[in-house]
A = this chain, B = another copy of it.
Amino acid sequence: MGRPRTPLLDRERITTTALEIVDAQGEFSVPQIARRLGVQTGSVYHHVDGRDGIVELLRERIAQRIDITALDIRPWDAALMTWARSYRAAFAAHPRAIPMLMTSPVRAPRVLEQYERAVTLLLEAGFPLPDVMPVIVALENLVLGSALDLAAPETMWEIADDAATPRLAEALDAIGDNRADRAFELALEGFLRHARHMLDTQAQA
């Protein structure tokens, strides 16, 4: 295996290019990246650990924008709230990458490190070990579902005939601004309320 003199720079460029393609198409291929960079496909493979390696570079790139120091906040629920908001913002910038990243295994060390900190937070808060990952995954599902929703058009429901769906028309008129934010905050508040309840029940048992 050759060792390129500037591997970091090259991986950066490969990641940036892959992200541009994913933002546009929801997918990428290694030959596409090579074409855009004006190099042979084999040269790309020289710098990364296969296609899966590029997926992990994308994951690290997007996750870099998540405020990991949020997980140092106490109490734990304030930490999760701040982390979740930052997590949503990071992925909302790249909604088309969400399905790809949600359906391939997490291997990126820096991202695993972020999970380690979230797990530690919840264990210290008193969550029983078997509940920790379900709690984290539930939070991620609502965060990522809400991140996709942020990419939705402002007018998400187009009613051709008010008479066919009169109550929906009324409810849409009453939405006001920041529909996506309000829905996210509502789901987040519900999640935290439930997590607190789980912990209280646990403490009483």
Task: Please tell me the size bucket of the interface on A.
Answer: 35 or more
Please tell me how many copies of the chain the complex holds: 2
Give complex CA distance A172, B145 in Å: 23
**Chain B hits for A192, CB < 8 A:** 190
> A98, B95: Cβ atoms under 8 Å?
no
**Chain B hits for A189, CB < 8 A:** 194
Give complex CA distance A133, B132 in Å: 31
The answer to whether the Cβ of A18 comes within 8 Å of any Cβ in the partner chain is no
User: Which residues 167-187 of A have a CB within 8 angstroms of B?
Assistant: 167-168, 170-172, 174-176, 179-180, 182-184, 186-187
> A137, B180: Cβ atoms under 8 Å?
yes
**Chain B hits for A27, CB < 8 A:** 25-27
> A105, B174: Cβ atoms under 8 Å?
no
